[in-house]
Amino acid sequence: MFLVHQARAVRSLTASVLRATLVGATTAGMGLLARAAWGLPTALGASQADIEQVADGSPQFAEGTFHNAQPSALLRPANPATIIAAMLTRGSAGTPSGPVPLAVPQFPTVADQLAVTWYGHSSVLVEIDGRRVLVDPVWSERVSPSPLIGPKRMHPVPAGLDTLPPVDAVLISHDHYDHLDLPTVRALVARGPAPFVVPLGVGAHLRSWGVPAERVIELDWGGQARVRELTLTCTEARHFSGRALTRNTTLWSSWVIAGPQHGVFFGGDTGYTPSFAEIGARFGPFNLTLLPIGAYNDQWPDVHMNPEEAVRAHGDLGGGLLVPVHWATFNLGFHEWSEPVRRLITEAERADVRFAVPMPGERFVVSTPPERDWWTAIS
């Protein structure tokens, strides 16, 4: 998948090693290499043995790895020259033409009944029935095991973690670097007592990073956790996992966040799957869906939805308001920067689907979603 997820970072780091060797391993080159590799073993996460202690017995786990419910190819068979040509000719197509406008969120003392703050990519703070749930928080500059190499932010974080109000739970969809970030996890551990609710195996990463075991809740698809008045349900997604070159050692998921009055669906990172209709029938309808729309490509249709599929999934789920995520912040595909949102709007209007596209950092109450177009000017 070349430009997707942590594979790009790992391969970039390998290339750096080769470059340092080719230039004679100068002192400067070795210093750069050392900085690029700093903390790498820790960032990669837990060992396979630690993960398998909780993975064994899951219906999704067989022969040492997790599997999608539907056959799902990481990559379609393709002419390698086609992908290489796309990499070499993409230029700045995946980046905005100017600075991305940001908002600095202002939070009420008491969480709202239903409100959203999108921090960029898939990091969202959900306020639901007076509680706060933080999903896939990533505050680092790069989504990579290395602080110097790997996909870098195309806009700053709208506000620091120190401005975040107290949260009741942290949800993680899977262990890719653009969804599970070591520095952010450690900062959140220090900020408060919120539990981390994660798919099977991801807890091993957290415990290896010093998260207290009593703050880690690991669930298989269909498993539920009760956090205060909220019920958090781990639901199916169609994706893959891995923080090094080994794939699918931990589970990936979507999430249902259900309060006494409202329901929210967070898609995590996923290709389109008929399971959305099953989730909608069992747990829906949802007042809000947060669905990924970016980093799609014809070569990997099974693991990333395109915008039209996101609208279809929203309908399957019985969604009220659709808020797109997984776009605008990191350049992980071949499409133009604003293409995902432009395609989403065209399809949502055709299907008569309500949607909102907040700017990074913008907090809004779901009953009064923003309507401004902030992306066209920098497309």
Ordered mean pLDDT values, 10 residues apiece, the chain (379 residues): 41 38 41 46 87 90 95 72 63 89 97 98 98 98 92 97 98 98 98 97 97 98 98 98 92 98 98 98 98 95 97 98 98 96 98 98 98 97
CA separation for the pair 175, 253 (Å, rounded): 10
DSSP string covering 252-321, please?
--EEEEE-SS-EEEE--S----THHHHHHHHH--EEEEEEE-SS--TTSTTTS--HHHHHHHHHHHTEEE
pLDDT at residue number 34: 42
pLDDT at residue number 327: 98
**3-state class of 53 per DSSP?**
helix
CA separation for the pair 153, 330 (Å, rounded): 5
Is residue 270 within 8 A of residue 293, CB to CB? The reply is: no
pLDDT at residue number 87: 62
Tokens of 161: 């973690």
pLDDT at residue number 48: 84
Tokens of 113: 């009944």
Tell how far CA 34 is from the center of its chain: 28
List, in order of start, the domains of the chain with CATH numbers.
Answer: 1-379 (3.60.15.10)
pLDDT at residue number 3: 38
Whole-prediction pTM = 0.90
Which residues are CB-neighbours of 227 under 8 A, at least 6 positions away?
131, 168, 169, 195, 197
